[in-house]
Amino acid sequence: MTTLHRLSAALLFCAALLISPAAFAGPWTRDSGEYYVKLGESFYQANAFRTPEGFLVTGVDYFSATTYMYAEVGLLDALHLQAYVPMMFARNRFGQQAYTDLGPGDMTLAVQASPLNLALPTSVRLETKLPLYGRPADGFTPARGDQQVDLTLWLSAGGGLHELGIYFYGDVGYQHRSSWTPGDSTSGDYSDGFVYLAQVGYNLFDRATLALTSSAVLPFNDDQLSKSYITLGPSVFFPLNERIALEADGYFTPYSRNSAAGWALGLGISVRSPN
């Protein structure tokens, strides 16, 4: 196998890290007894990545399918718990050779609170990423993540123009990439970074909600390990009744560094507490 293929196999480990749940709490914190649960499937495809120096390398083939559960459950008024649990299938293909992996990915747990009574909805959220896997069996098998714990503090604010059927919100955060790993494994020296998520949505004919979402991970330091990327894509929320909805989403990666440059599609069904 060529040197380029070996480099491709190593760097495409980053692609699995781009998969994330398509539902986000934003600043609207659920009260005691309220809930939202989504079961979804997300597909990610990449045939290129950008090196730590910013060069685009093509001619590779990475695919992943992630089945996940995402939930928000109100513990107290203006305080809720969030959880995301994924099961991943990932494949690297090089010519006639294919290397696959299957198992749980990075689980995230978060506590969100809205302690301030302001004109616009606001919240603060503390999130942790917990790896549920070990290292790949060899140098070509795609990894399911970086196998280390992240801690992220989010601040969120949003609002809406109800007469126009428009809503919007933005999350900004500080992501600490720790050296904590499961078991006796070791972690690389990853850089902390700035993260954001922004969404604007429109209620179409009082039936479906269309939205455009952008998210990013932007490390503070340029190194050989820490991924950097921006995603952008649409989503649709289509309620079937007061509690059940179908959801679809997708995104592409207009910017990446030390990470894959690909696209994703997702579909899910959600159940929420009645209004």
How confident is the model over 218-235, as pLDDT tens digits? 999 988 889 999 999 999
Q: Is the pTM of this model over 0.75?
A: yes
232 is in which domain, residue-wise? 3-272
The token pair that represents 200 in the structure block: 């604007």
DSSP E strands, 13-78:
35-50, 56-76
Contact 196, 216 (CB under 8 A): yes
Got the DSSP string for 222-242? --SS--EEEEEEEEEEEESSS
Contacts of 55 (CB under 8 A, 6+ apart): none
Q: Match 């440059």 to its residue by tokens.
A: 261
Q: Read off the CATH number of the domain in which 78 is found.
A: 2.40.160.40
CA gap 42, 265 in Å, rounded:
6
When pLDDT is cut at 50, 70 and 90, the band that residue 5 belongs to is: very low
Q: What is the pLDDT of residues 39-97, one digit of tens each?
A: 999 999 998 878 777 777 777 788 999 999 999 999 999 999 999 999 999 998 877 78
Number of domains in the chain: 1
Which residues are CB-neighbours of 164 under 8 A, at least 6 positions away?
none
Taking CA atoms, 76 is separated from 31, 111, 122, in Å, by: 6, 11, 16
Q: What is the distance between the alpha carbons of residues 233 and 263, in angstroms, rounded to a whole number?
A: 9
